[in-house]
Amino acid sequence: MKAYITGSGIISPQETHSNSGFPYPIRDVVGNRLCCIEPDYHGLINPVQLRRMPRILKMGLASAKLCINRAGGVNPDAIIVGTGLGCLDNLEKFLTELLTSHEHITSVLPFINSTHNAVAAQVAMLIRNHGYNVTYCHRGFSFESALDDAMMHIEEKTARHILVGGIDESTADFMHLHAYLRYWKEPISNLALLTDKSYGTIAGEGSAFFMLSADPAGSYPVAVEGLHTFFTPDGAGLPDIIPEIDRFLNSQGIAKHEIGLVLAGINGDADFDKIYYDLSRDYFTADTGIAYYKHLCGEYYTSTSFALWLGSAILDSQIIPSVVQLTPPGGKRLNKLLIYNHIRNREHTMILLSHGEI
């Protein structure tokens, strides 16, 4: 099972929407929440529609349009989106209005725009697409579920080009409620995320879309080779996790020494980062490089969509930016990259990328 990335569009807390490669300079923010840098939407979305469009829909439609443009304008056979929280901000507005107006709705727009599948539906209407259209909301597995569905369609040859996205927004209420669960650090610089050994991390958000195709584009294509998700109970350690990694790598027909770089979901939380460091020391070989990404985008349910964009950019350029590198690889060409992430040691996900000459 293999799907080629032929285009991408991403809006994130870094200046990624206007760059085809890695963004410079890197944004340095002091706080515990990273918000997206948004583009001028007028060149991507009809200004009449923009007036009443909530922020998450703007980000989703714009990143999807950027992806389609960079993929040569192809109209996909399917649109599949993963989101952990959906259009949470609009849902909060709708429920608040329902409460304050004693169940008399003054406008249907907040309700229409509050559903989880609003982004996928609006993208379809924007590009006049009548194909398969599905949204997955599986917490930390949301983007991987969308990606898995797309790859199965390509493997079964029921679609050749599929637009896959991962999107989540951060809201004030979400921040407030999860603060009680020790999710967030005290305000710090996002670039100093790993030097602070306290509990918690920084919140993030983003919208990333990818055109997955059955056929490669260019002489050195980046491909998604496969993915794997698994759930562990509280307190799980390496004996629970290593067999799952072995099972995944064996299913892909590769050995762990073939992985040139692991892009890990290290987020600065002293309670949960130990797993990544233990795997780096006790499982992966000395030639395998380790990189991280959540200091650039923050923690959110579909942050692996940002990691997929970053991993594909690293493979395409064969350059690992120093700002994401923890341990350099052994000097060999990067042909295999593994994205490994977990949400508080419960929901674990792995995505295997490859890069090679046709």
Give the residue extent of every domain in the chain: 3-213, 224-355
pLDDT of 89 higher than 70: yes
Q: How does residue 20 score in pLDDT terms, banded at 50, 70 and 90?
A: low
Q: How does residue 105 score in pLDDT terms, banded at 50, 70 and 90?
A: confident
Tell me the average pLDDT of the chain: 92
Q: How does residue 358 score in pLDDT terms, banded at 50, 70 and 90?
A: low
Specify the long-range contacts of residues 278-281, CB closer than 8 Å, at least 24 apart.
Answer: 278/237, 278/238, 279/238, 279/241, 279/242, 279/245, 279/340, 280/326, 280/327
- Determine the angle formed by the axes of helices 304-317 and 142-155, rounding to 10 degrees: 60
Q: Do domains 3-213 and 224-355 have the same CATH topology?
A: yes
* Mean predicted confidence (pLDDT) in 273-287: 95
* Mean predicted confidence (pLDDT) in 270-287: 94
CATH architecture of residue range(s) 3-213: 3-Layer(aba) Sandwich (3.40)
- What SS3 state is found at 223? strand
pLDDT of 157 higher than 90: yes
Predicted pLDDT at 218? 74
* Mean predicted confidence (pLDDT) in 199-223: 92
Q: Give the chain's length.
A: 358
Predicted pLDDT at 29? 94
For the stretch 304-331, pLDDT in tens is 999 999 999 999 999 999 999 999 998 7
Measured between alpha carbons, how far is 102 from 79 in angstroms, rounded to an integer? 37
Q: How does residue 24 score in pLDDT terms, banded at 50, 70 and 90?
A: confident
* Mean predicted confidence (pLDDT) in 21-42: 92
* Mean predicted confidence (pLDDT) in 254-277: 95
Predicted pLDDT at 110? 74
* Mean predicted confidence (pLDDT) in 188-217: 94
Q: What single-letter DSSP state applies at residue 226?
A: E
pTM: 0.95
CATH number of the 224-355 domain: 3.40.47.10
Predicted pLDDT at 357? 67
